[in-house]
Structure formats: structure tokens, C-alpha cells
């Protein structure tokens, strides 16, 4: 029996971030994952600027600069009617509003920092049993090993990602993923590394297609939509991605001579916070398992890292107080509501709104003639400003004007 103060299930951005902050605070922490690192994770690879500062807190700023992960400075946004806006925000030339960092490298880097801080990484371990033999004890067992591996701690942070298999066993997840996407890596992409592209298609709304450039003529190219929309319309996303590359005039211009590296891979996303109970006795749920993906743009790295940090803070407080009950851990639920949930609700409303192609057509039309309107719109999309700004009378008035 191996004993810890906190066991974290899942070593993605949420779990590894929690492990880093716990270990740095002197908490005996186990970080458990069924895979071994480095391992790939299907994702758009976009890391918004506000989360780069949290990576810096974990000592990764030099790593980011050393590897020179791309920081695009220009945006292309096209509407279902084909009209588009190419836009460069009014920032200083050295301003970074985001990076494109492959998950293969990002996740391994965060795990590495957690281990350096003192967390114990247990790779290739799939935990199959959970019990609570006492109010201050949780016990986890992996039966896939000979002999079985038994772990014990005071607290558990479940951060097992979109499928949330372990979190489901705890009875804390009540639904399946609600978004779905595919992506592939391409090389020999033209147009340089500066342009980040979002393309809205009537058949995908409220989803979109993207071209997120890496460095050296490579790009992450993909598209996604809601599970409901995909099923209703019988959309084969891999076929749809091929169609986008060949027939969308902006994509065709950039990807006409591009080559696919490996294969196109699909993945679901979980953006329904209301379907997850993030707190139970001795348990906190973080990251995508808690339904924290942004329902408007599908971004989940930022909310995962933020939730991991918040979970670590509340876990430390619980350890100090010696109280691991649901009531004692309830402030974590309030944290998620304050830092993520209030924006989440607006993003979901906006997601439904852009499900109408005419709305997106109008947004692009106005943005082409109103730079202030365009900058507000793009800053919300890349999460530099709160989504509530799109619902302010001034923005709505600009949308309706002209």
C-alpha cells in the first residue's frame, strides 16, 4: 500500500497542474495516468494568452521561448456566405495573444514540472477500484498489474479527461461529450506562420473549421461541431475536413500543396458543466472531466490548467483543516462558477446564436466596416476579454448599425 496526501487521476493539463502546485506546497502527491509520457493528445493546440501567464508560474516561460512555439499575429475569420475579414489587432509588435503548442510537447512539459516539484508520477496505471474506508481515507486499486497496485490518500482529484471513465465510476458525471472534432497535422503549408484562421460553414454551425499554424510551414488543421448537429445531418467529419481543404477558397489557397502527416484523428469534447458534480466527500473533479471546455470555440487547455490550480488550492486548505467532506470542499464549486461558469453560460448562449448562419454573416459584414467592432469580436474569440462584452448595448448597437 502506497500512501499519499493527494492522488490525482489523469496527468493531462488539469491533473499535472494540480500536481505541480500541490507538490510545490510540500504535499505528498501521486500523479497517475494510464498512458506513458510523452503521449499525443488530439487537440487544436491553441493556448490563449491568459493561460501563458499560468504556464510561466510553473516555470515554463524559458521552455516556451527556447522552442519558439508559434505566436500568430493576424486573424482570418470567414462567414458561411464566404465573406471574410483578415484582421491584425492594434497591439504592440511584440504583443503575444496566444501560442500554438502541440499537446505532445505541452502535456509532457507540465508533467515534467510537476515531477521536478516533487510529485510522484505513476505511468501506465489504470485505476479500476475506488473505496472510502474512512472519512479521511480513499483507496484506489489497479487490477491490471500483478500484483495489484494499491494507493491510499486523504483526497482524490479526478482529472481523467473527456471520457471521464474513472469520474463516471464515482457517479459524478451524468452525460456524454457534447462536441466532436477531427484534426490533422499538415506540412508544406503556404502563407507563413502569422495567420490564424477560423472558418464558419453553414453545415457545421455552431462549429467551425480552423487552420492553426505551427512553425516551419506546418499547421494544425481541423473542424468540429456539436454531437447533436453531427448526428442530425449525418456529417462524416473526416470527409468534411477533406471537403473543406479542397473547396473552401481560403483553405485551398493555403493547403493546396500541403501534405498530411500521419492520419486525421477524431476526438470528442465535454463542455456541459451542469452535467458534472465537481465535489464529493474526499473528491474534486478538474479539467475536461468537469465539462469545462469552452462551448463557443472548443478551447479546453486554459480551463483545465485554471481548474487544476484552483483544485490544488482547495486541497491544501482541506489538508490544513483536516476536513475532507463535501461541505468543506464546496468552495471549489464556487471557484469554478466564478472563474469559469459565469463566462461558460454566456459562451453557450453565443454558441446557440451563431448556430444561425445569418448571425455569423452579419458579424463578419459589420467587422469588415468597423475596426472597433472587429477587435472586440476577436478578443472575445481568443479569450482576451470577457464574453459579456458582446452583449453590451454598445456592441449590439454597432452590430445593428449600418
Q: What is the pLDDT of residue 88?
A: 83
CA dist., res. 287 & res. 162, Å (int):
9
Q: What is the largest CA-CA distance in the chain?
A: 72
d(Cα 38, Cα 22) in Å, to the nearest integer?
22
How many Å separate Cα 239 from the centre of its chain? 24
Delineate the domains of the chain, giving CATH numbers in brackets: 2-60+103-176+272-350 (3.50.50.60), 71-94+177-268 (3.30.9.10), 353-400 (no CATH)
pLDDT at position 246:
94
As given in the structure block, the three cell numbers for residue 158 are: 479526478
Contact 324, 154 (CB under 8 A): yes
Q: What digits encode the pLDDT tens for the residues 152-176?
A: 999 999 999 999 999 999 999 999 9
Characterize the bridge pairing of strands 2-3 and 29-32: unpaired
The three state secondary structure string of 341-373 is: HHHHHHHHHHHHHCCCHHHHHHHHHHHHHCHHH
pLDDT computed for residue 91 by the predictor? 63
Q: How confident is the model over 69-104, as pLDDT tens digits? A: 999 988 999 999 999 999 887 765 556 678 999 999
Cell readout for 175 is 452525460
Which residues in the chain land under pLDDT 50?
none
* Cβ contacts of 98 within 8 Å, gap of 6 or more: 46, 47, 48, 49, 52, 71, 72, 196, 382
Give the per-residue pLDDT at 93. 54
Residue 113 CA from chain centroid, whole number: 19
Residue 98's pLDDT is 87
Give the three-state DSSP class for 37: coil
Report whether 288 contacts 269 (CB < 8 A).
yes
CA 102 – CA 130 distance, rounded (Å) = 33
Amino acid at each position: 500500500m502506497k500512501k499519499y496526501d493527494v492522488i490525482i487521476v489523469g496527468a493531462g493539463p488539469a491533473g499535472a497542474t494540480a500536481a505541480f502546485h500541490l507538490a510545490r506546497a510540500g504535499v505528498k502527491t501521486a500523479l497517475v495516468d494510464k498512458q506513458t509520457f510523452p503521449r499525443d493528445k488530439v487537440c487544436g493546440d491553441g493556448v490563449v494568452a491568459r493561460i501563458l501567464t499560468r504556464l510561466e508560474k510553473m516555470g515554463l516561460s524559458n521552455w516556451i521561448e527556447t522552442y519558439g512555439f508559434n505566436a500568430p499575429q493576424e486573424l482570418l475569420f470567414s462567414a458561411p456566405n464566404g465573406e471574410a475579414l483578415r484582421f491584425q489587432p492594434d497591439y504592440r509588435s511584440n504583443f503575444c495573444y496566444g501560442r500554438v503548442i502541440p499537446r505532445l510537447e505541452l502535456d509532457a512539459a507540465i508533467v515534467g514540472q510537476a515531477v521536478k516539484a516533487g510529485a510522484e508520477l505513476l505511468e501506465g496505471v489504470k485505476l479500476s477500484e475506488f473505496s472510502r474506508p474512512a472519512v479521511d481515507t480513499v483507496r484506489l486499486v489497479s487490477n491490471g498489474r500483478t500484483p495489484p497496485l494499491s494507493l491510499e490518500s486523504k483526497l482524490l482529484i479526478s482529472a481523467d479527461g473527456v471520457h471521464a471513465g474513472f469520474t463516471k465510476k464515482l457517479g459524478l458525471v451524468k452525460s456524454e461529450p457534447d462536441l466532436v472534432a477531427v484534426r490533422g497535422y499538415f506540412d508544406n503549408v503556404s502563407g507563413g506562420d502569422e495567420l490564424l484562421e477560423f472558418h464558419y460553414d453553414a453545415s457545421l454551425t455552431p462549429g467551425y473549421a480552423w487552420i492553426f499554424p505551427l512553425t516551419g510551414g506546418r499547421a494544425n488543421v481541423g473542424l468540429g461541431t456539436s454531437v447533436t448537429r453531427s448526428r442530425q445531418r449525418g456529417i462524416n467529419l473526416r470527409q468534411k475536413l477533406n471537403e473543406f481543404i479542397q473547396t473552401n477558397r481560403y483553405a485551398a489557397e493555403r493547403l493546396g500543396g500541403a501534405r498530411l502527416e500521419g492520419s486525421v484523428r477524431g476526438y470528442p469534447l465535454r463542455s456541459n458543466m451542469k452535467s458534472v458534480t465537481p465535489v464529493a466527500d474526499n473528491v474534486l473533479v478538474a479539467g475536461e472531466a468537469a465539462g469545462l471546455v469552452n462551448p463557443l470555440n472548443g478551447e479546453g487547455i486554459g480551463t483545465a490548467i485554471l481548474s487544476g490550480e484552483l483544485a490544488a488550492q482547495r486541497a491544501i486548505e482541506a489538508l490544513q483543516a483536516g476536513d475532507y467532506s463535501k461541505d468543506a470542499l464546496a468552495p471549489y464549486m464556487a471557484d469554478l462558477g466564478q472563474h469559469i461558469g459565469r463566462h461558460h453560460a454566456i459562451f453557450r448562449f453565443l454558441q446557440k446564436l451563431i448556430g444561425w448562419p445569418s448571425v455569423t454573416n452579419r458579424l463578419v459584414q459589420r467587422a469588415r466596416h468597423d475596426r472597433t467592432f472587429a477587435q472586440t469580436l476577436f478578443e472575445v474569440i481568443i479569450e482576451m476579454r470577457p464574453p459579456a462584452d458582446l452583449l453590451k448595448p454598445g456592441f449590439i448597437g454597432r452590430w445593428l448599425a449600418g
